[in-house]
């Protein structure tokens, strides 16, 4: 936001000095209108973020009352523009259990809550949570998901090898970077090609050009998770 304001002010300062006053006024009005639109967009996304965090917290409290000390934050709202949000097919939240020892909280178990969205989940009133389906995973379940995804996305079928590389290495855009050696490269396929594996009674996983596709069998929705989202979740579980 600060960079945008500086850029617009620079444009104003660089305008020709001999321009007519009415032209200057029109230009300044246009800049002001642009700033107001940017501010409104940022405020709208921030409001949706707060709304999503509140609803996710309520869902977690209702369905997992065994957790009485935890933090919950969105993983994927930062940097998003308002026009991009309606196309988002999954919102993710990182949850961290903690205990209080003395004056300092001691972090514990990590969880990620997925909110799978369907068409029309954002409207003029904000988020319609009737169009969001929730799915909670821990580090073990995420590892199982990543092993299944990596098997279909690469030529590696040894689950022990995949688990070791996933736990010790780093997920990158083109595959998994091993800590020492043994990188696992993902297939280079076209955007209209799909590799499918049946993961569970509820889901199929689909590899398609830098994304993890999650097909929800009950609703017949295909959810697309970008590689950046996968990397952030994996880092949360195994690097933070």
Indicate if the pLDDT at residue 111 is higher than 90: yes
Averaged over 131-160, what is the pLDDT?
94
Q: CA 51, CA 57: separation in Å to the nearest integer?
A: 10
pLDDT band of residue 211 (cuts 50, 70, 90) is confident
Instruction: Kindly report the number of other CB atoms within 10 A of residue 4's CB atom.
Output: 13
Q: 158 in helix, strand or coil?
A: coil
In this structure, is the dihedral angle defined by the CA atoms of residues 160, 161, 163 and 168, taken in order, positive or negative? positive
For residue 233, report the phi and psi dihedrals to the nearest 5 degrees: -65, -45
Model-wide pTM > 0.85: no
Burial bucket for residue 56 (CB in 10 Å: 0-12, 13-18, 19+): buried
Indicate if the pLDDT at residue 196 is higher than 80: yes
pLDDT tens figures, 15-69:
455 545 555 555 444 444 443 433 444 566 678 788 889 999 999 999 999 999 9
Domain extent at residue 123: 2-238
H or E stretch covering 178: none
Q: CA 92, CA 223: separation in Å to the nearest integer?
A: 13
Q: 79 in helix, strand or coil?
A: coil
- Compute, in degrees rounded to 10, the torsion defined by CA atoms 158, 94, 203, 172: -40
Domains in the chain: how many in total? 1
């Amino acid at each position: 936001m600060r960079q945008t304001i500086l850029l617009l002010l620079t444009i104003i300062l660089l305008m020709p000095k001999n321009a007519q006053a009415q032209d200057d006024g029109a230009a300044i009005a246009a800049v002001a209108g642009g700033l107001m639109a940017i501010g409104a967009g940022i405020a709208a996304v921030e409001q949706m973020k707060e709304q999503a965090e509140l609803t996710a917290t309520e869902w977690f409290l209702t369905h997992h009352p065994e957790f009485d000390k935890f933090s919950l934050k969105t993983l994927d709202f930062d940097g998003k523009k308002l026009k991009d949000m309606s196309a988002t097919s999954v919102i993710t939240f990182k949850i961290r259990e903690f205990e209080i020892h003395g004056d300092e909280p001691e972090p514990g178990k990590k969880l990620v809550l997925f909110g799978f969205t369907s068409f029309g989940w954002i409207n003029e009133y904000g988020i319609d949570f009737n169009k969001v389906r929730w799915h909670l995973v821990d580090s073990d379940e995420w590892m199982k998901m990543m092993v299944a995804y990596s098997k279909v996305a690469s030529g590696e079928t040894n689950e022990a090898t995949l688990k070791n590389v996933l736990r010790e290495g780093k997920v990158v855009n083109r595959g998994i970077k091993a800590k020492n050696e043994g990188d696992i490269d993902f297939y280079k396929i076209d955007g209209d090609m799909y590799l499918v594996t049946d993961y569970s009674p509820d889901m199929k996983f689909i590899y398609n050009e830098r994304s993890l596709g999650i097909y929800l069998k009950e609703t017949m929705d295909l959810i697309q998770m970008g590689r950046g989202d996968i990397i952030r979740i994996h880092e949360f579980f195994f690097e933070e």
